[in-house]
């Protein structure tokens, strides 16, 4: 899925990264607005109504986390976060506040474009513009209408919790889900502090759907953040 003419707002104070983003995004047909501070970014967001906001976590005036929080009060489209090594811990906080995904600096053009595509598709799904009854990733097929999971055309039998976990990841495929988000969606708000539940079911799920559970290709671990179901297989 390409999104020609999609409008992107970049909120980033580092001129080098702004130049890199401008070159990469304009070359791929995106229309760009740039802001060097959080305040200016919030002003431009209301003015320009971008399809995607790319926001750096370390801004000179207000923090990127605060920008996300204030945006999410009204903004329903995609938010992708840029984080430097020193802000790694804030990635989880950003996702929990409603960012769709993140890029860790330094990142390449290919990764940037892939993340933007996933974030946009995720927004379309969230807004109900792209209802999907069947999801295929490599040899894995998830039929949400028939509640059926297959790999290479062979049925895989999942427990209700395994199925729930897989379908949540599948609906957000390509997008990282934090431990808290998964725990809340599968087990409910009372279990967000029980990450061991997740580890146990993730391991079981890998044994059922991965050709080689020790080297997962579908269910990917994002260290310190959460899990991601692959969008496409390499």
Q: Which residues bind Ca ion (CB under 5 A)?
A: 13-14, 56, 58
Task: Give which of 34, 33, 32 is closest to 15, Cα–Cα.
Answer: 34
**Nearest CB to Ca ion, comparing residues 14 and 222:** 14
State the minimum distance, in angstroms, from the CB of residue 90 to Ca ion.
12
Tokens of 158: 């999942």
Q: How far is CA 50 from the centre of its chain?
A: 18
State the minimum distance, in angstroms, from the CB of residue 163 to Ca ion.
41
**Nearest CB to Ca ion, comparing residues 56 and 162:** 56
State the minimum distance, in angstroms, from the CB of residue 80 to Ca ion.
15
State the minimum distance, in angstroms, from the CB of residue 56 to Ca ion.
4
Using the 8-state DSSP alphabet, how is residue 103 labeled?
E
**Nearest CB to Ca ion, comparing residues 50 and 64:** 64
**Nearest CB to Ca ion, comparing residues 14 and 96:** 14
State the minimum distance, in angstroms, from the CB of residue 118 to Ca ion.
23
51-74 in b/e burial notation, b at 16+ Cβ within 10 A? bbbbbbbbbeeebbbebbebbeee
State the minimum distance, in angstroms, from the CB of residue 58 to Ca ion.
4
Helices (H), the chain: 15-27, 38-48, 64-71, 88-96, 109-126, 160-171, 179-187, 195-209
**Nearest CB to Ca ion, comparing residues 69 and 185:** 69
Q: How far is CA 106 from the centre of its chain?
A: 18
**Nearest CB to Ca ion, comparing residues 51 and 56:** 56
Residue whose Cβ sits closest to Ca ion: 58
Integer Cα distance of 181 and 160 in angstroms: 18
Helices (H) and strands (E) in the chain, counts: 8, 12
Quote the radius of gyration of the chain (alpha carbons, Å): 18
């Amino acid at each position: 899925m390409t999104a020609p003419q999609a409008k992107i707002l970049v909120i980033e104070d580092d001129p080098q990264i702004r130049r890199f983003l401008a070159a990469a995004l304009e070359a791929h047909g995106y229309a760009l607005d740039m802001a060097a501070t959080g305040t200016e970014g919030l002003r431009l967001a209301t003015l320009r109504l971008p399809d995607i906001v790319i926001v750096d976590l370390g801004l000179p005036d207000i923090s990127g986390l605060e920008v996300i929080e204030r945006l999410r009060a009204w903004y329903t489209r995609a938010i992708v976060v840029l984080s430097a090594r020193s802000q790694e811990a804030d990635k989880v906080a950003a996702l929990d506040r409603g960012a769709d995904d993140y890029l860790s600096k330094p990142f390449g053009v290919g990764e940037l474009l892939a993340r933007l595509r996933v974030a946009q598709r995720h927004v379309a799904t969230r807004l109900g513009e792209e209802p999907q009854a069947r999801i295929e990733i490599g040899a894995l097929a998830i039929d949400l209408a028939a509640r059926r999971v297959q790999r290479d055309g062979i049925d895989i039998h999942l427990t209700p919790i395994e199925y729930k976990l897989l379908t949540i990841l599948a609906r957000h495929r390509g997008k990282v889900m934090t431990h808290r988000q998964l725990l809340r969606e599968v087990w409910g708000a009372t279990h967000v502090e029980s990450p061991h539940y997740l580890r146990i079911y993730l391991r079981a799920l890998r044994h059922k759907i991965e050709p080689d559970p020790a080297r997962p290709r579908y269910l990917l671990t994002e260290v310190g953040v959460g899990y991601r179901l692959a969008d496409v297989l390499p």
